[in-house]
Structure 1
Amino acid sequence: MNETVSLGRIAGVRVGVHWSVLVIVVLIALGLARGRFPLAHPGQSTAAYWALAVLTSLVFLASLLAHELAHAIVARRNDVQVDGITLWMLGGAARLRNEAPTPGAELRIAAVGPLTSLVLGGAFTGLAVGLDALRVPGLVVEAVAWLAGINILLAVFNALPAAPLDGGRILRSFLWHRSGDRLRATRGASAAGRALGWLMVAAGLAAVLLGGSLSGLWAALVGWFLIAAATAEARQAELRGVLHGIPVSRVMTHSPVSLPAAVTVAQFLAEAPYGRYRHPAFPVESADGRVAGLVTVELINRVPPQARAMTTIGDVMRPLSEVETTGPDDMVMDLLPRLDASTDRRALVLDAEGRLIGIVTRDDIGRIVTWLTAAGRTRD
């Protein structure tokens, strides 16, 4: 889930939000302002209900962020690189660049999330009791009590032993420790995730069809997400098993055709696609021969026809700082999640001196996987 708006960095971790966060904010605020708050404390103004409901929903998002930050901080302490955190409609996601090196590290990274939510739930509970003792308006106490309950519920739900929930990661760490086989452990946790997902879908649809409760649609939606995420996680594990131990140098396209940054878009288009420029993306070199960035046909197509004679490739390229790069000896299975999260789905391969020696795309990896799968290569 890619971020729509960046919120900067917290504790050194990049944080962003996806536009779908607005959905959960609206749903929570609507449920509180039109439901729970008026029922529990009638007689207040509509503006008071809505203002407190919106504030409560934002504090809940902050609770989700704290949950994911805990994952990210513990992951970094266990030698797992963190690309960032994105909040979206169904919660939050910490993007980890590589997997935990040991079952113990996996356990620590997974367990800290529910533990953080449980601590937050306890803190909000204590705050609600204290505010009530101080005779603070009951509407405010109700909001804090709701935050306490939702965080405790979040902790319990995330602790369920089913991937991709935190409890599923805990289950995988146990199975991994017991069997010594990470791939088999992932299969077991993913199977549990699909079972829980189907149970939630069935329960949600039953609530809608038999009980007439539209809240069942939310349970069915979460269940469907669990099924899809658990299935994707199992496939990703199988893929990592196939690619285990394969360096980028075995997969990349060597000595890719590059473009000088000073070439105009019109000159490039005059030679493509029948000359040497017949690919959808090209590394770009500066005047001194160093890699400056990457340009794609999609970026070139954005240049208006009347401006192409005066616009250079260097003007439209994606600078090197925004392009995924890797080394020839890096492992393909470590590069794969970075490619999936990148804008161009490709990476430039640079040697130790920063010279361009190759390019690798998601399609390159897909072809290798097809061949290795046909050859029956699957191992952890």
Structure 2
Amino acid sequence: MKETVPLGRYAGVRVGLHWSVIGILALVAVSLGGYVLPADLPGHPPLAYAVSGIAAAVLLVCSVLVHELAHSVVARRNDVAVEGITLWLLGGVARLRGEARTSGADFRIAAVGPAASLVLALVFGAGSWLAVELAADELIVAVLGYLAVLNAVLAVFNLIPAAPLDGGRILRAVLWAWRGDRFRAAVWSAWAGRGFGFLLIAAGVVEVLARSTAGLWWVLIGLFVVNMASAEERQARIGLALAGIEVATVMSTPAETVAAAQSVEQFFHDSAVTHRHSTFPVLDERGQLSGLVALNDLRAVPVQDRSGTALREVARPLAEVATAEPGEPLALVLSRMNEASRGRILVSEHGRLRGIVSPSDITRVLADHSLTATLPAGADLSWEPDTRPPPPNWWFPGQQRFEPPARR
């Protein structure tokens, strides 16, 4: 989900709002400030109710942000890149660029979100108690108590063992640790998610038939859960099909590259005609990989500025681009494909470009492997980066030098 309004970076993670977040803000502000508080605590000016409702809505969105930031911070500490956080109608989404390498890391990333919400519930609950002790206005006490309850509900709801909820991720991690098969664990978690989603839809329909519009929210949440769980199951089955296949056996090499110091004008004059791709890895003066540039980005540079604009100024920095090492399992790097990479994965080793994986490469592999393939016995998916210095001539141990035809 793409952000509509960027909010900057918090704890090093980019945060943005989707326009639909207005819905949850309006729902909480109107229901609390227009109905709940006036009914429970009559006698206050209308403006006081309105301010209380708006404050509660904003603090609830901030609570969701803390929940997602907790996921993101722990993910980064476990070597999983985070593309950003988007707050929207049904909460928040932390966009992780990659997968946890162990079941323990997967568990920690999933569990910290509900834990953060539970801590917030305790904080707001303590704040409400303190407000009572200090004889604060009863609207302040009510708003703090309301936020304590909502965060507790958020924590408990997310612990339901069904994908894509945090509880589903925890279930996946536990099954992965128990059975040693991350992809089958993801399939089972997705099945639980779809079942839970259909239960929500059914409960919502019953609620609507009972003439309560609150059931529409259950139907909406249920549809979201079913769709996300189905998508996770498809991804897991692709992982099953690709299990045991390394990035090196799929990548196209050698990849056509461009120099970071080259001007945009020079590129179009000397290289654009001979190059037949839409994206190009960018190498710096030392031959190290520094980013990725796309033809569309170069065409967007005004003609009068092209002679003074170097490719490094237009290229997407390496931190925003999907990368992998040759020995990584292909199934674990697919989730890194993002818009900044134009769907490509740059394969590098010790900063040196070794190849590139494009969507056509993935399609070719999937065409050769049934999606019902089982995980090969003894397949090792606990990949760790090689910290040894690069050999003089790079090849794969025990194999002949691998140089498939260039293809993107």
Q: Same fold (TM over 0.5)?
A: yes
> Which sits farther off after the overlay, 196-205 or 118-127?
118-127
Give the CA RMSD over aligned residues: 3.1
Q: Do residues 340 (structure 1) and 299 (structure 2) align? A: no
TM-score by length of 1: 0.84
Q: Which residue of 1 aligns with 2:26?
A: 26
Cα distance in structure 2, aligned partners of 1:289 and 1:198: 53
Equivalent AA in structure 2 for residue 224 of structure 1: L
CA spacing shift, 1:131–1:374, aligned 2, 3 Å: closer
Q: Do residues 368 (structure 1) and 354 (structure 2) align? A: no
Q: Which residue of 2 aligns with 1:163?
A: 163
Cα distance in structure 1, aligned partners of 2:79 and 2:257: 34
What is the CA-CA distance between 1:181 and the residue it aligns to?
3.1
Q: Which residue of 2 aligns with 1:39?
A: 39
Q: How does 1:1-380 map to 2 (within 5 A)?
A: 1-3=1-3, 4-10=5-11, 13-19=12-18, 20-75=20-75, 79-83=78-82, 85-89=84-88, 90-208=90-208, 210-260=209-259, 261-265=261-265, 268=268, 275-285=273-283, 291-304=289-302, 307=304, 310=307, 314=311, 316-340=314-338, 342-352=340-350, 354-373=351-370, 376=373, 378-379=375-376
What is the CA-CA distance between 1:40 and the residue it aligns to?
2.2
Equivalent AA in structure 1 for residue 248 of structure 2: S
CA spacing shift, 1:247–1:268, aligned 2, 3 Å: same
| Greater percentage in helix | 1
TM-score by length of 2: 0.79
Cα distance in structure 2, aligned partners of 1:174 and 1:300: 47
> Which sits farther off after the overlay, 359-368 or 137-146?
359-368
Gaps of 5+ in 2: 380-408
Assess if the C-alpha contact under 8 Å between 1:254 and 1:358 holds in 2.
Answer: yes
Assess if the C-alpha contact under 8 Å between 1:163 and 1:169 holds in 2.
Answer: yes
Structure 1: 4+ residue segments shifted above 6 A = none
Equivalent AA in structure 2 for residue 249 of structure 1: A
3-state SS of paired residue (1:373): coil
3-state SS of paired residue (2:337): helix
Equivalent AA in structure 2 for residue 203 of structure 1: A
What is the CA-CA distance between 1:141 and the residue it aligns to?
1.3
The C-alpha deviation readout for 1:94-137, integer Å capped at 9, x for no partner, is 34444445545444443333233233223323332332343321
CA spacing shift, 1:373–1:291, aligned 2, 3 Å: same
Equivalent AA in structure 1 for residue 42 of structure 2: P
Cα distance in structure 2, aligned partners of 1:120 and 1:291: 43
Assess if the C-alpha contact under 8 Å between 2:337 and 2:343 holds in 1.
Answer: yes
Cα distance in structure 2, aligned partners of 1:114 and 1:292: 37
Equivalent AA in structure 2 for residue 278 of structure 1: R
What is the CA-CA distance between 1:322 and the residue it aligns to?
4.0
Q: Which residue of 1 aligns with 2:401?
A: none
What is the CA-CA distance between 1:193 and the residue it aligns to?
0.6
What is the CA-CA distance between 1:343 and the residue it aligns to?
4.6
Cα distance in structure 2, aligned partners of 1:56 and 1:137: 15
What is the CA-CA distance between 1:220 and the residue it aligns to?
1.3
Gaps of 5+ in 1: none
Equivalent AA in structure 2 for residue 326 of structure 1: A
